[in-house]
Structure 1
């Protein structure tokens, strides 16, 4: 029974990773596609390759997810907690994907684990959640917005005398690099979250000790998110690339560069599982605000903000209900 649950958790975790890939593909490529710097399929292939590379680099975020959110008991109910958390996260991912809202897969996963853990009366590490999740969740979009605004102002000043056509061609070419950097940051952050869940399941089942990530887990999670990314996330891509602000190549490269820098610092420096969605959305708003504040479609931005606020509690409620229902069939 327990081994079957472990296998189910691993498979569902990889399914979550896949939904994370197609849900968050827009984060990496929305700007380059909307400015026509890259064709959609080329951009998706580039994003998938860089997702794979980023996923294999570090284990800091995986460690936070695997041991810093909840401490499930080493029995069948502990495995059910992990499984329920994944179902809650996947449910929210699919709903927001269908609605075209760029919500956070990261926070959906964290919310799912919290909800299932509370339903099972397990220890939830609130101090770690505050330090590694809540504070970075607030700071990363604020930093993304402010830094992107400053970077764009700097680019406008540096290239103020440049020929617009030549400057645009240069920025459009540079977007291939900035999109690759953004996709690398997505892999560095989001694939590791799935690795952490699988390690959590293995430790709960007594099949692994410590928080280090086995190579097969890295390869499986990296492959799943890369495959999901390549399958595309067209609904959310339209929201980020067109509906929030009409991007030009210069603003696209500024948004991608800023967002990827924030992701790298949070993952490698602080081991904080921040949202790529929050960060790049805020960066896009930041570069858009350099035109004029009214250039940003704040109504669309408000809908995105509502999804951000609801993500953790909504995923937690679904996961808690799934755990409660599953207990009816467990000894």
Structure 2
């Protein structure tokens, strides 16, 4: 923070895996968009809110992020992309097979985002910062973000081991005053919710860390293989109706998969988000989820 009329916080990040984010010309080039960054941050903020009243949840959300549903208002905190990022390079987003190549920003590229607000909102900026840090532990961005693409490593996240990663995540949840809802470990399932989920929207349920690999690409292949082999019934997410699925309706996967570097290796991180819905508690879902975790090297 500085002492001018504006307080700021910058995040220098490196892409670990290609980022396939849609821009103005999605078929020709990928483009990093602040609107998408804000949308991902808003989603992950919601995964830590346990609010059964949807109107109250929306009011909190719009106070923090802006909106038009309750009271038309702008967010007091802004994000600025320091340098435009576009790329026409094609990447296969289904690396476990001959998939469709789409425009993507290559891994290894750097991006800097600056958060800023007027000094009177300094405490709010601190809150935002904690949620950004939480998101940068677990999230990816863009197309196939749930399966490892668009993984970014913050320059300040220099973990040497899974234990350090787990401790870092626990500290953020403690500062956000939600850690009492979880148990923590230094390997395997590093975060687990103590009680059943009661909300109608997905909230954080568990976080697993799998086996480290020498390259992030090999983890992307494992994520793709796990999606193909462990989700035959569609219980881990389904983009089209399947007659044999337990719940034959289109729905997003409860498993968010990303990649982070710890020491000299890259590790798969799988985050489960759950709602109070029987789709998340049926035996088929649990069996397919555990098979998915085994394929990506999680010790159960």
Task: Please confirm whether the aligned pair reaches a TM-score higher than 0.5, indicating the same fold.
Answer: no
TM-score (norm 2): 0.27
Return the structure number with greater strand share: 2
Structure with higher RCO (Cα < 8 A, 6+ apart): 1
Return the structure number with greater helix share: 1
